[in-house]
A and B are shown apart, each in its own frame.
Chain A
Amino acid sequence: MLINLIIAGVGGQGNVLASQIVAGAAVKEGLTAVVGETFGASQRGGSVMSHVRITRGREVGPLIPRGQADLLAALEPLECLRVLRVFGNRETRVIMNERPNYPISVLQGEAAYPSLDDLKAEIGKLARLILSFSATDVAQQAGSPVAANVVLTGALAGTGFLPIALDSYRRTIAELFTGNARELNLRAFELGLERTGRRVAQSPRRLD
């Protein structure tokens, strides 16, 4: 088994944390995880990406080859398309936060951000499946828009695509945080879970 998951977003959105939750939960399941991460651009508005590869004991490198992402969890629509074009294939399943994060060139009026409909249409053509919602709005309900990363992680967990029990995610989150942040993130995870949990429970399609 080798599952290739990419978590894509913009520096400051919490890519790294999302990948740590998924990979940490995988290790709790007795699986082998490797995460390739770039966080020099964190907080500074650059495109960031985490490659999470999950196996049963097989040693692989931290980078997913082109066109071989099985799953793409995108914290931002434009980043979703950017990554999908390079790493996606016709079988790639996509979970996406619909809230845009505008590049500086868009804020400055030099470039236009594509419409969400256009983005979703193109992503839909490239990928096998796209589940999208505003994780940022859901995170706001959980208590802070910053928790969109954990909402999306919850949604990813809820799909059941990954062979990881929900409790392993919850335990990982509980270990990574203390106090209020733990409560916030657990809440965000559950709210994210609700977005996909039910529909996937009817037709689980685990990738392993």
Chain B
Amino acid sequence: MSITGVKTDRPGQAVLLTGNEAVARGALEAGVGFASSYPGSPTAEVLSILGRLAAEFNLYAEWSINEIVALEGAAAASFAGVRALCVMKPDGLNVAIDFLTTLAMSGTKSGLVIFVGDDPNAHSSIKEEDSRYLAKLAHVPVLEPATVAEAKEMVKVAFELSETLRYPVIVRGVTRICHASGNVVLGALPPREKAPCIPPEERFLTNPGAVPAYHQKQEEKLRRAAELELPFNRYEGPAGAEILVIGCGPAFLYAREAVASLGLTDRVGLLKLGLTWPLPEKLVLNRLRSAKKVIFAEETDPILEESVTSLAARHWSAVGEISFFGKNSAHVAGPFGPGAGELNVDIMVKALTAVAGLPVPEPAVSPPQDPPFAPGVPVIDRELAFCAGCPHRASFWAVRAALELDGRNGFVTGDIGCYTLGLGRTGYYLLRTAHCMGASVGVAAGLSKLARLGFGQPVVAVIGDSTFFHAAVPALIDARYNQARFLCVVLDNGTTAMTGHQPHPGMGINAMGEKAPAVAIEEVVAGLGIPCTIQDPYDIRTTVRVVFDLLQQNQLHVLVLRRECALTAARQTKKPRVYVDQERCLGDACGCVRFCSRVFSCPANIWDAAAGKARIDEAVCTGCGVCAANCPQQAIVVEGRE
């Protein structure tokens, strides 16, 4: 987590880097000149770092409005002779896929590498989509690092490969790469050369008259990629092993550790693939000839598994009878079943045990989990919650209150960001839909259009500021044009909070830390001809009235609930002191049933069991004072507010 390591110019030195830092370092070692991204977990830190180092390394870095624009910009750099890195989450690749499929047809010039971070188990995002399907769709090669060190090397090789083929190349990490850390040996940092330029004769077209010819060229490039000698594809283990593990990414390491822990190192061969699409067929075929049982270790979907089984079917007479074990056979499966969730050593141990016909190993966990050995101190689950002082909590409370006052069974559509938590307890279970970036607006518009068929419920879309810029604008234009009538609430906390406070167009600063012309949400909305109101959600009572009034209007309206993210605000200002006057607090005699700690759900509002009164955890409290306004006894005191 240190930018120092990424920029250190001491070739040969080992430093600890995260996977995302290693990707950034690899790009710098490859002489990257252009980097673009939209913040998304688990890859958000790559561009943050390159942005901060942009001046020092004479490169351009931007947070783009969304991933397709990011990729278009990166392609442009490539056309002009500049090595370009484009970084995204898998959902981002969905957004960029339209351009990527055509870019693969036209081809590129200077190295263009797309780094995608998938999130098996959805640790830090909302889906565990396997991006390799889209890579296959676009006919683009995929490299997959197994370690942080390999991530750095792979990015460098990917730039070379991209230039060799004049073709985009995807490096696909998973959360256990992006958010992992490991030793990385630093390489040389080359100076960047020559100014970008496109010679008069160069064109990058997808001519509608010649599509099959483009397609033919793409197939040819994939064949060349499959035949490359890459250091990332390697075999370890006994020659002629009957049991063969084929794996990639961290899953390969889990399988290797499982093999070692079961004492199977002499019996099991391990084929690690760094290039997972297209399949390096010759290499794989070589190993299949001796294998009788093949186990796959990959996340999340059975891409290698399907490529290899298809290869074996085509070469059945050469490879003979092989049994395949993986997701399709349900042998490689975690608690959610095959293909769902991430892998680990224990899952691979289970699979290998079954395949190798070994007795199930004793659980290493000691002592046993079950009573009577464990007396059963309850371990309570932790639900995710809005942070202390989060303005979203106030916003959700106000919208909920307004909808209840309205009394027409209002329907709230949700979107992607911190405020997706509005589907849970600390958002008072308000969200009724949650899908992809921008979907709140399109779904709300669609519902409200049903008024013509008799739909009578008011509709509210809830979307964040960064997501608004990313994906709301076309849907709002549609809403106006097609006369949708709903309230679009933009929760504007002045940052991209979910992924770590990256700048967005509304903030007046860019990825490189330079001042940039801020794009005000209200100006965009005004430009669309949609009325817009701005309100501070911390003033809950007024916000309730404003939302209520807007619901009565039954018109298309954008309400910006604007209040800085509590995390960034806490860094900047001296916070007011908020405490409970326990003389005033009536405790359980109040009748409020512990409103502040039980219902309003700010982590700073806690119950002082000893006193039987409410209390503020001042270590957590950000001093927003919203709870004070809600206390029926006005027992919460705010001191030192500006």
Contact = CB atoms under 8 A, between A and B. Distances in A.
Direct contact of A and B (CB under 8 A): yes
Interface of A: 10-12, 16-17, 19-20, 23-24, 26-27, 30, 32-41, 43-47, 59-68, 78, 81-82, 85-90, 102-109, 111-114, 118-119, 122, 125-126, 136, 145-146, 175-176
Closest 7 CB pairs of A and B: A40-B124, A67-B364, A61-B253, A67-B365, A35-B181, A65-B345, A45-B385
A107 B598 contact: yes
Contacts of A90: 366-367
Contact of A40 (B125, B147, B180, B374): B125
Nearest to B606: A107
A27 B313 CA distance: 46
A20 B597 contact: no
Given A23-B16, A65-B346, A114-B377, A104 B147 contact: no
B468 interface: no
A104 B425 contact: yes
A47 B384 CA distance: 9
A20 B599 CA distance: 36
A68 B567 CA distance: 36
Among A26, A37, A46, find the residue whose CB has the most chain B CB atoms closer than 10 A. A37
Given A63-B345, A65-B257, A81-B377, A45 B382 contact: yes
A61 B343 CA distance: 11
B387 A34 contact: no
Nearest to A62: B180
A86 B365 contact: yes
Given A12-B387, A104-B382, A122-B377, 7 more contacts: A20-B181, A34-B183, A62-B250, A78-B379, A86-B365, A107-B605, A109-B607
Nearest to B181: A35
B500 to A, nearest CB: 9
A66 B363 contact: yes
A61 B250 contact: yes
A41 B380 contact: no
Contact of A34 (B148, B254, B256, B366): B148
A85 to B, nearest CB: 6
Contact of B2 (A19, A24, A47, A105): A24
B573 interface: no
A45 B384 contact: yes
A107 B363 contact: no
Interface string B23-58: 000000000000000000110000000000000000
A190 to B, nearest CB: 21
Contacts of A78: 379-380
A114 B377 CA distance: 7
Contacts, number: 187
B378 interface: yes
Given A17-B1, A20-B181, A90-B367, A63 B176 contact: yes
A172 to B, nearest CB: 8
Interface residues of B, number: 65
B382 A59 contact: no
Interface of B: 1-2, 4, 14-16, 18, 41-42, 123-125, 147-148, 175-176, 179-183, 250, 253-254, 256-257, 261, 344-346, 349, 363-367, 369, 374-375, 377-387, 418, 421, 425-426, 567, 594, 597-599, 601, 603, 605-607, 619
B253 A59 contact: yes
Contact of A61 (B123, B175, B345, B385): B345
A38 B375 CA distance: 30
Contact of B123 (A40, A64, A68, A108): A40
Contacts of B125: 40
Contact of A32 (B183, B377, B387): B183
A41 B383 CA distance: 10
A105 B365 contact: no
A81 B379 CA distance: 7
Nearest to B363: A67
B181 A37 contact: yes
Nearest to A87: B365
Nearest to B593: A109
Nearest to B252: A61
A147 to B, nearest CB: 11
A173 to B, nearest CB: 11
24 contacts: A24-B16, A35-B180, A36-B180, A37-B181, A39-B124, A39-B179, A61-B345, A64-B345, A65-B345, A65-B364, A68-B364, A81-B377, A81-B379, A87-B365, A103-B380, A103-B381, A103-B383, A105-B380, A106-B380, A107-B598, A107-B601, A109-B607, A113-B380, A126-B374
A38 B342 CA distance: 13
A34 B14 CA distance: 13
A85 B374 contact: yes
Contacts of A107: 597-598, 601, 603, 605-607
A41 B41 CA distance: 11
B147 A46 contact: no
B365 A88 contact: yes
A176 B180 contact: no
A27 B176 contact: no
Given A104-B385, A108-B597, A145-B619, A62 B567 contact: no
A58 to B, nearest CB: 10
A22 to B, nearest CB: 10
A151 to B, nearest CB: 14
Given A62-B176, A102-B606, A20 B16 contact: yes
Nearest to A106: B380
A40 B497 CA distance: 11
A104 to B, nearest CB: 5
Contact of A46 (B41, B181, B384, B386): B384
Nearest to B178: A37
B379 A82 contact: yes
Contacts of B181: 19-20, 23, 33-35, 37
B383 A66 contact: no
Nearest to B597: A107
Contacts of A87: 365
Contacts of A32: 182-183
A59 B146 CA distance: 10
A20 B257 CA distance: 23
Contact of B384 (A41, A62, A106, A112): A41
Nearest to B119: A40
B369 A85 contact: yes
Contacts of B378: 111-112, 114
Given A12-B387, A40-B42, A176 B379 contact: no
A109 to B, nearest CB: 5
A20 B1 contact: yes
A60 B384 contact: no
A105 B603 CA distance: 10
Contacts of A125: 367, 375
